[in-house]
Structures are given as structure tokens and as C-alpha cells.
Amino acid sequence: MPVWPPTTRVGRLRDMLQLRFTPLFGSLPAATLESISPGNPLKRLAKVLGYAAVRLVGNVFQPIRNPERLRGAVWLYVVSQNNYDSLRFIKEHRTDAVLLAGQAKQIGRYNQQVNRLSLRRKLLYYWQFPLVFAGLQRTEGRRAWRFFDLIFNAVGYYEVYRRALRHYRPRAVVFANDHNDDARALLLACRAEGVPTAYVQHASVSTNFPPLGFDLSLLEGQDALDKYRLCGPVRGETRLVGMPKADAFVQQRNEQPRVQRVALATNTLDDTAGIEAAVSYLLTSFPELQFTYRAHPSDPRRFEELRRRFPQLSFSDARQESVFEFLQRHDALIAADTSTHLEATLLNLVSLYYRFGQHGVADDYYGYAARGLVDRAFTLDELGALLRGYVARKPADHYRRAAYYCATLGTPDEGRSQQLALRELDAWLAAGA
């Protein structure tokens, strides 16, 4: 079993990019991978040069004026809009907590509301790239060449973040992401500098994730703990606290006795033709129902054909409307591989698993269908039959299916996950973190 944390440059880069080197990532559809790492080596090289010119050099000239004091604070490190939504309850509770991200990280509608860690000095560490690339070629083989642009992007994070930790000496760092390269780099930097770390799970996890390496991990339920144990050794303390971001909504569960409003949610893996076929089938077969379509916030497709062909179809902008606000307006959800299934079930929506297309990646990625959280349809006819049954009757206690995933469900702490998480964090910090 490899030593953790790794002590070599190559080992650290391997840890930071762990998810990128899994067979699952390499088998993603070409169209999905193209936006992350182009298939054409020349395009990958162009991406590297563009990153160097625009991001790295641009960082040097971009002023950073943080509105809050970072020195000695509890850092809440975010890499996305969802991360921000998952950690801001800590900011609202603790006067010493600050939300922050890397210098040019895109945080959606919260871009202007987070403090920034300077990455200006990242440029100074790119002399390491030939060395770590050669080392990763020995350990990862052809995958290192296929994703050399991602390796290039990750170089320097660790060193810059170690320097930031020495300068600001935060009391602790709280994460909501455990697998992005910059988050992994900050975690490794914290280990090297002796800064305590905590983790608040922000979405369902899979067995492809890195092992837990935080001093304190606040997980949603038994499902997450069981999966992390399959990922490798679980380090530090773990607590099951339910889903803090759902607190404001679980007391407003859907009580409709039958399905009338249906949410359709897709991600970047879902095939455009498959999405259009499903929408056409559903709107034709169920003209009496209301349907709303919501693409993943990172999906660059505009789905103009859907808008043109189906004027009766409503749309939700994931960059503007939170997932819980979206779900509250519906009685059922149809989606493939997304943790939105769990959030929908907690709100007592009926959640149906259907894959929009025939790609062979990530079948039942989170195990929701295997565990019975959701009903699965393999064909559109099966999907129609399931939906038809719930149009006739939707169980009042459907949400109980989520008990394995949410530890507070059915307990006195239900709807109080934020309070439970804050008690754990406060006690952990008071004990010397």
C-alpha cells in the first residue's frame, strides 16, 4: 500500500490527479472528454499554451484585494458553486470563517463573493513539468501522455499553497471537495504544514474517489462511509451528520398524492439525441403533465433544438436556481447518473433512473438503482410505465428510501444536520484543531 501523504513530486501529482488516472475517467465519451482534455495532441498543446499565457501570466497582473482577513481564520475552501452552497452555513455561524478559492477559479454566481488565494508564483514551478511528466509516464503509461495538459495545469498548486499556509497560518481548512487537483494540493499542503483539515461531504460519492485523508470528515450517511472504506484506509475521525444543505427543505416535503410536474435533469455524459428522444416520448405520451428540463451547470450545450421543437417544455438554469429550489417545484425526477436523485428522494419526489443514450460509462454510478433508492427503466416504454404508475399514486413516505444515505432521516436530528455538523466542527476546533 503506497505511503500517504506522498513524499515525492511525482507521488504528489499522482495523488492530486488520482481521479483522472482511473479507468472510468479514461473511458468517458469522447465528446465529454473533449471539453476537459482534447483528444488531439495538438489541441492539448494549444490548451497548455493558452493556460500558460492567459491564466498563469494573467495571474501575475491581476490584483487581489480580499475583503476579509485570512490570517488565523478558518478557511472554507470551495471549487464550485455547489461547494459554496454546502459550506456557507459554517460562514454564517462562525465569525472567524472565510470562504475562499484559487485566484481565477470559477465559482458561478458567487465569483465576487469569495476571497482568493494568489497563484502568481505558480509560474515559477513549471520547471518541474518535464520531471513529473516523465515520472508519471513510468507509473501511468499512456494515460500520462493522453492527459499531459491536466498534469501541466496541476503543477505548482502544492508549492504555492504551502507558501500561502505559512504566510496566513489559518486555524484550519474545511473542504467540500476531496478529488479536484487544487483541493488535493491544498490538502497535501496542509498535511505538510501541520494545518488541521476537515471535510463536509457536498454530494454523493463513488468508489473511484481518493481515500479519506482529513482529520475530521462529516459524511451524510452510511452509504458514504461504506464507499470510502472501499476506496482505501479511512484516516482521521468520521461523523455521520446527514445532509446540511437540505435542512431548509426537508420540512417542506412534497405531499402531492400523484405526479403532475416532472423534472428532467441531465449531465454532460448524456447523449443529445438520447435526451431529445426521451423528451419527445414523454411530452407526447403525457400531454397532461408539466415537464421542466435542467442541464448540468457545466454543460456547454444550449439545447436550442429542444426549445424549438417543444415550446411547452420549461427550462431551469442551474447557474441561477439551486437544485432544491428546482426540485421543490416538481413531484418527480427523471435523470441518469446524478446525486440529484438523492436530494429529490429526500424531498419525497419520486425519482426514476433512465440513461439518455447508450454510452457504456458509469452505469448506476452511485448505486442508487442497486440499493433501491430509485426505480430503474431501461427503455422508454418502461419509463412510461413507471411514470404512469406514479401519476396514479405517489406514496406519502417515499422519502424513507433515503435512510441509508442520510443518517438523520427519521431521527430527532432530522432537518438539523447543520446544527449537528456545527457542533462537531466547534468541538473539534475547540479541542485544538
Domains and CATH numbers, the chain: 9-243 (3.40.50.11720), 249-402 (3.40.50.2000)
Q: How confident is the model at residue 359 (pLDDT cuts 50, 70, 90)?
A: low
Question: Taking the complete model, does pTM exceed 0.75, yes or no?
Answer: yes
DSSP 55: I
Higher pLDDT residue, 432 or 184?
Answer: 184
Q: For residue 300, give every residue at least 6 positions away whose Cβ sits within 8 Å of its Cβ, in sequence order, or none.
A: 35
pLDDT digit string, tens, across residues 16-63: 999 999 988 988 888 888 989 999 999 999 999 988 887 778 888 888
Whole-angstrom CA distances from 268 to 215, 288, 354 are: 33, 29, 15
**Residue 5: cis peptide before it, omega within 30 degrees of 0:** yes
60 close to 157: Cβ distance less than 8 angstroms: no
Mean pLDDT score across all residues of the chain: 94
**Vertex 378 angle, CA 374 and 381, to 5°:** 105
Distance CA 199, CA 173 (A): 9
Region 61-66 average pLDDT: 86
Q: Which amino acid is at 32?
A: T
Residues above pLDDT 70, as percent of the chain: 99
Is 80 exceeded by the pLDDT of residue 369?
yes
Q: Is the per-residue pLDDT at 360 higher than 80? A: no
Read off the pLDDT band of 154 (50, 70, 90). Answer: very high
Question: Once rounded to an integer, what is the mean pLDDT over residues 400-414?
Answer: 95
- Three-state DSSP class for residue 370: helix
Higher-confidence residue of 250 and 279: namely 279
pLDDT band at 104 (very low <50, low <70, confident <90, very high): confident
Residue 1 has pLDDT above 60, yes or no: no
